[in-house]
Amino acid sequence: MKIPLYLSGERLNENKMKISKLDCGYDRKALIERTKKAPVWLHFGAGNIFRAFPCVLLQRLIEAGRADYGIIAVDAFDAETIHRVYEPCDNMSLSVTLNSDGTMTKTPVGSVVESIYLPENRERVSEIICSPSLSLVTFTITEKGYAIGDSAGALLPDIRRDLESKPDEAETFLGFLSACLYQRYLAGKKPLTLLSMDNCSGNGDRLSRAINTFAGSWTSLGFAEGGFVDYVSEKSADGVVCPISMIDKITPRPSERVAEALREDGYEDIDIIETEKHTFIAPFVNAEAPEYLVIEDKFSSTRPPLEEVGVKITDRKTVEAVERMKVSTCLNPLHTFLAIYGCLLGFERICDEMKDPVLSRLVKRLGYDEGLPVVTDPGIISPRDFIDEVINERLPNIFMPDTPQRIATDTSQKLSVRFGETIKSYMERGLDMTGLCCIPLVAAGWCRYLMGVDDKGNSFERSSDPLLEECTAHISDIKLGGKYSADEIHAALFPIFSNKTIFSVDLYSSPVGEASERYFTEMISSAGAVRRVLEEV
């Protein structure tokens, strides 16, 4: 049955409309001209979260007369994002907010004034970064976009090659970015703020480490002047700085139900596209209404007045506390739990999982009983109020087409912060951990997920993950319904559960490791065992 979605405000006329022709309420042509001549804000990662959140924030500032420039968007991953969506729509988009009451709020967004696919126009991107007017570069490139090493700490081959080559020969994204910063250094050492808006702990620190690794290598090899290291290492207030941030706004892939509702309202160019690289994108972006962005007050140059549109600009300690609250306790762990078991139990929507009484009870136990006891109260946001909103409004929102399969992407990169830090907090405070059940269920469930066989015994496609092949190899001999000794199970799981890169802690240093092994053993006993274990817990 189709779920109705309604417009808030006046209905649109019956004429066919194109996204590219929508009125933003300001002189967009003049905005484009000004920005291209003197760029101020450059963004890497032209995906859905960027269009649903940062773009809308700047749109509000432009409408209020508080900004007279737009964003230049760059994508380094998927050319089709630029050529099949951005360019045909003249870089316009339609932001669709899916409210929990069933209404749909639509906002034409014209704050993106230029879009570039990086491999095709490196010169233009380099020119923009060297522009004296540029003051802010933001990123939504996903957590793995900042990686320079593998799970063992060894440099990735492509990164190593760039580190040993001259800056103008860099081929990786991080190498290219660092080379552009070196050109900006040579062009006058103008200050610049690099702001990661990716959903990962210490995002700005990760970006800073990568850039400083390149600067250190190139200067030691004589490929760059020694002052470049100081320029990017935050030793100078007029150099490059990388503040940390916490971002939160659930932005699933474009929904066909939303597209259908938009067609009924007269839009004719809102088809959803799946690219060859399996990116799902459309001229519109759909997202939930709740949104949070907290940024460390560390800018080396002028910045947009983001605090006027709801962004919290605060000290580093508070940002870290908000990030820990969200990522380690109140939202992300719950999402990962639902992602893992949603895939194993055949769910296609997160909201449907919240209707399942067993999963709903376990998610509440994970958040309220196992997470809140060690949460850090950031002061500016109440942890209890935040998790209440997550449990009662955000996760059950039937109008949000978010999938466990999407959230299961890159799980190996998320477990350390989402669960490892909580385990460490229990250990540091000397709290009893024998009563924990949901956290061990996550570790066990993820290894069960890695088998690629659901609870009915049918194979399923696992979401992409940089450690998928490595971790799957450890359990490749474990089959559903097989009989294995405790030693065999331990031998298979030990390389995963003891890996501090994955969990941030050796699970066997606490009762979690043994409990996780026990749950895993029970869940591989037969088809239907996953559901049975969850019900017993």
Element housing 434 (H / E): none
Residue 383 · residue 377 · CB < 8 Å: yes
Q: Is the model more confident about 152 or about 473?
A: 473
Residue 73, SS3 per DSSP = strand
Mean pLDDT of 79-99: 96
Q: Calculate what percentage of the chain has a pLDDT beyond 70.
A: 97
Q: Which residues contact 486 (CB under 8 A, 6 or more apart)?
A: 517, 521
Q: Tell me, what DSSP letter sits at residue 504? A: S
- Cβ neighbours of residue 123 under 8 Å, at least 6 residues apart? none
pLDDT at 9 over 90: no
* pLDDT tens, residue by residue, 443-470: 999 999 999 999 999 999 999 999 999 9
First to last CA, the chain: 34
**Helix (H, G, I), strand (E, B), or coil: what is residue 142?**
coil
Measured CA angle at 50 (ends 415, 171), to 5 deg: 75
List the strands of the sheet with 245-248, edge to edge: 245-248, 292-296, 312-314
Q: What percent of the chain has pLDDT over 90?
A: 88
CB 406 within 8 A of CB 383: no
Longest dimension (CA), the chain: 71
Name the pLDDT band for 15 (thresholds 50, 70, 90).
Answer: low
Whether 102 shows a pLDDT value over 80: the answer reads yes
Calculate mean pLDDT across residues 171-175: 97
> Residue 385 and residue 389: Cα distance in Å, rounded?
6
Tell me the β-bridge partners of 103. Answer: 6
Give the confidence band of 327 by pLDDT, cuts at 50, 70, 90.
confident
- Please give the structure tokens belonging to residue 459: 């194979």
pLDDT value of position 401: 84
**Cβ-proximal residues to 157 (8 Å cutoff; 6+ apart), any chain:** none
Angle between helices 529-536 and 332-345 (to 10 degrees): 140
Phi then psi for residue 429, to 5 deg, are -90, -5
Contact 243, 296 (CB under 8 A): yes
Mean pLDDT within 481-493: 96
Residue 235: what pLDDT? 75
Written as one string, the DSSP assignment of 161-203 is HHHTS-GGG--SHHHHHHHHHHHHHHTT---EEEEE--SSTTH
β-strand 245-248 against 280-281: which pairing, if any? unpaired
User: Which residues, in sequence order, are bridge partners of residue 247?
Assistant: 293
Q: What is the mean pLDDT of residues 46-61?
A: 97
Cβ burial of 40 (10 Å; 0-12, 13-18, 19+) is: buried
Locate the DSSP E strands across 297-438: 312-314
pLDDT tens-digit series, residues 246-279? 999 999 999 999 999 999 999 988 999 999 999 9
Per-residue pLDDT for 482 more than 50? yes
Q: Going along 34-174, which residue ranges are E strands?
A: 41-44, 71-75, 93-98, 103-109, 112-117, 136-139
Question: Got the DSSP string for 1-56?
Answer: -PPP-EESSSPPPSS-B-GGG---SS-HHHHHHHHHHS--EEEE--SHHHHHTHHH
**Strand 273-274 with 280-281, pairing:** antiparallel
- pLDDT computed for residue 428 by the predictor: 95
Q: What are the structure tokens assigned to 528, written together?
A: 């239907």
Q: How confident is the model at residue 5 (pLDDT cuts 50, 70, 90)?
A: very low
d(CA 378, CA 305): 22
pLDDT-based confidence at 2, cuts 50/70/90?
A: very low
pLDDT at residue 153 in the model: 81
281 membership: H or E segment, kind and range: strand 280-281
CA distance 319 to 510: 29
Please tell me the pTM assigned to this model.
0.84
201-234 pLDDT, tens digit per residue, is: 899 999 999 999 999 999 999 999 999 999 999 8
